[in-house]
Amino acid sequence: MKEFSKAQVFTAIKTPFSRDGAIDLAAFDRLVQRQIEAGIDGLIIGGTTGEGHLLNWDEHVMLIGHTVHRFGDRLLVVGNTGSNNTKEASQATQHGFAIGMDAALLINPYYGKTSPAGMVAHFKKLLELGPAIVYNVPGRTGQDISPSIIAQLQGHPNLLGLKECAGTERISGYEAQGIPCWSGNDDEAHKSRHEGASHGVISVTSNLLPKAMKTLMAGKNETLNGRLQPLFAWLFSEPNPIALNTALAMLGWVQPVFRLPYVPMSKEMREKGAAILNGLSDLGELTPAKVLEDSDFLVL
């Protein structure tokens, strides 16, 4: 609990793929090493950004275990073991804790949804298994985890806090009640941290600029926050992680391989993204971004 209470930036780390369709562990390790060198506090493994929904559970659990084994002494490892199926989430969460993850990231049941009472029961069942961050992202699940639902979970010894995408006002209210929150929106993270008293951010952008995201959380910096807004907007101009996958490929940090249903951004959007990335080169974190051709990408 003490370690999590001090954590300001978690990176929702990308899962890279090789041309045979397997997880590219060598590329993954390089990405993680960059995070460690930047002083990132922890990683979300197999989250939305890490395409956990496109991994089978063997891949998913393997990647959590690999991260714990290689890097668990230097980072907090949070495994995304949530699911819309409580039994499936329970099994995955048990496996995650058995291989050493520090905490689970738990989403509410999506698509099929459930009642508020069902949501409470879902989370209570999973919180019995170990420390967890509850993840509220109505734009993806189609259902808000309301403050009245969180009130029924508050005080549970295994509730570490929330990844909250409903904005600064919601975060501020929770923090005032002593419920730790990490913003799930990079474009609002600076405001949520310095006006809403959030603990920090669970970030997509920190895959690219971990030091910059650390700086935004460590102290108020309107200039840097303003400079990053075009990148934030581009990264979320299509459903995450399409733009991030495209950016990492253009930087040469991962192979340009996509798993369907994700496909690369158009060349016009790649050109826009490369210009934004190259315009941030003075921050000292990025290699030159090259606009790739459509034929450079492999979609599996």
CA dist list (Å): 277 to 28, 117, 135: 21, 45, 29
Tokens of 1: 């609990």
CB 294 within 8 A of CB 264: yes
Q: Out of 14, 87, 135, 290, which one is annotated catalytic?
A: 135
Q: Which residues pair with 135 in a beta bridge?
A: 107, 163
Confirm whether 73 is domain-assigned.
yes
Residue 91 region by backbone torsions, left for phi larger than 0, else alpha for psi between -120 and 50, else beta: alpha
2 as an active site residue: the answer is no
pLDDT recorded at residue 128: 98
Angstrom distance (rounded) from CA 187 to CA 205: 10
Confirm whether 284 is domain-assigned.
no
Angstrom distance (rounded) from CA 20 to CA 197: 45
Q: What are phi and psi of 140, to 5 degrees?
A: -105, -40
pLDDT at position 1 over 60: no
List Cβ neighbours of 168 (8 Å cut-off, separation of 6 or more). Answer: 183, 188, 191, 192, 195, 196, 198
What pLDDT, in 10s, does the model give residues 106-162? 999 999 899 999 999 999 999 999 999 999 999 999 999 999 999 999 999 999 999
Confirm whether 234 is domain-assigned.
no
Angstrom distance (rounded) from CA 186 to CA 213: 9
Task: Kindly report the average pLDDT of the chain as a whole number.
Answer: 97
CB 11 within 8 A of CB 203: yes
- Band of pLDDT at residue 274, cut at 50, 70 and 90: very high
- Band of pLDDT at residue 230, cut at 50, 70 and 90: very high
Instruction: Give the residue from 256, 226, 227, 253 showing the smallest Cα distance to 242.
Output: 256
267 as an active site residue: the answer is no
H-helix or E-strand spanning residue 126: helix 116-127
List Cβ neighbours of 296 (8 Å cut-off, separation of 6 or more). Answer: 249, 256
pLDDT at position 2 over 90: no
Tokens of 119: 């949501």
Confirm whether 133 is domain-assigned.
yes
Confirm whether 184 is domain-assigned.
yes
pLDDT recorded at residue 146: 97
Confirm whether 252 is domain-assigned.
no
CB 182 within 8 A of CB 164: yes
Give the burial string for 109-118 (b: 16+ CB within 10 Å, else e).
Answer: bbeeebeeee
pLDDT at position 82 over 70: yes
Tell me which residue range forms the domain holding 188: 2-221
Distance of CA 74 to the CA centre of its chain: 18
Flag whether 49 is marked binding.
yes
Angstrom distance (rounded) from CA 155 to CA 284: 42
Flag whether 202 is marked binding.
yes
pLDDT recorded at residue 100: 96
Q: Out of 6, 111, 125, 163, which one is annotated catalytic?
A: 163
Mean pLDDT, residues 60-64 taken together: 97
pLDDT at position 18 over 90: yes
- The number of domains in the chain is 1
Confirm whether 54 is domain-assigned.
yes
Angstrom distance (rounded) from CA 10 to CA 266: 29
CB 126 within 8 A of CB 104: yes
- Band of pLDDT at residue 3, cut at 50, 70 and 90: confident
Confirm whether 236 is domain-assigned.
no
| Helix, strand, coil share (%) of the chain residues, nearest 5 | 50, 15, 40
CA dist list (Å): 195 to 17, 81, 163, 187: 38, 31, 17, 14
The CATH number of residue 68's host domain is 3.20.20.70
